[in-house]
C-alpha cells in the first residue's frame, strides 16, 4: 500500500492555483501523483466534466500508476470544507485529497485524509 505523502512541491501547488483561477467559476479536478513522499504531478483525466457546483472524474480512465495518491479540486467559493460528495470520493479513492478555494492563493487550501480529516502537507521547494 502506498504511504500518504508528507509534502507537495511548491510548483505543483502553484499549478493548482493557476488551474483553479483559469477554471473559475467552474470547479476543476485532477489526480495527485507522488514520488518519494512528495506530491510531484497532477494528472488530468479524459472525460472529466465540471460546473459551478461540482466536478466529475471518470476514475476508470486513470493511468495504471501505483503512485497516484488522491485528488485535488477547487471550490469556487470561500470554503475548503469538503461536501458530502467530496467525502464520498475521499472514502473510495486515495489517501490524500486537496481542496483549493477562492481567492485561490497559497493560504486557501487544505489537505484531507480518506476519512475527511484535515492533514498537513509541507510545501517543498525543489
What cell does 31 get? Answer: 489526480
Q: What is the mean pLDDT of the chain?
A: 90
Task: Check residues 61 and 7 and name the one with the higher pLDDT.
Answer: 7
List pLDDT tens digits, range 24-81: 999 999 999 999 999 999 998 866 666 667 666 767 667 777 799 999 999 999 999 9
- Residue 92: pLDDT band (50, 70, 90) is confident
C-alpha span between 88 and 84 (Å, rounded): 6
Residue 8 has pLDDT above 70, yes or no: yes
Residue 113 has pLDDT above 70, yes or no: yes
Q: Which CATH number does 7-110 carry?
A: 3.40.140.10
Closest to 98 (Cα-Cα) out of 58, 36, 108? 108
Handedness of CA 94, 31, 109, 101 (dihedral sign): negative
| Three-class secondary structure of residue 122 per DSSP | strand
Residue 1 has pLDDT above 80, yes or no: no
Amino acid at each position: 500500500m502506498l504511504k500518504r505523502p508528507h509534502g507537495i512541491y511548491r510548483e505543483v501547488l502553484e499549478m493548482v492555483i493557476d488551474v483553479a483561477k483559469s477554471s473559475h467559476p467552474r470547479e476543476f479536478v485532477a489526480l495527485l501523483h507522488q514520488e518519494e513522499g512528495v506530491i510531484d504531478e497532477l494528472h488530468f483525466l479524459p472525460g472529466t466534466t465540471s460546473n459551478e457546483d461540482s466536478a466529475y472524474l471518470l476514475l476508470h480512465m486513470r493511468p495504471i500508476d501505483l503512485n497516484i495518491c488522491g485528488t485535488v479540486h477547487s471550490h469556487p467559493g470561500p470554503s475548503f470544507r469538503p461536501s458530502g460528495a467530496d467525502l464520498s470520493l475521499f472514502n473510495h479513492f486515495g489517501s490524500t485529497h486537496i481542496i483549493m478555494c477562492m481567492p485561490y492563493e497559497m493560504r486557501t487550501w487544505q489537505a484531507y485524509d480518506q476519512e475527511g480529516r484535515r492533514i498537513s502537507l509541507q510545501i517543498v521547494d525543489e
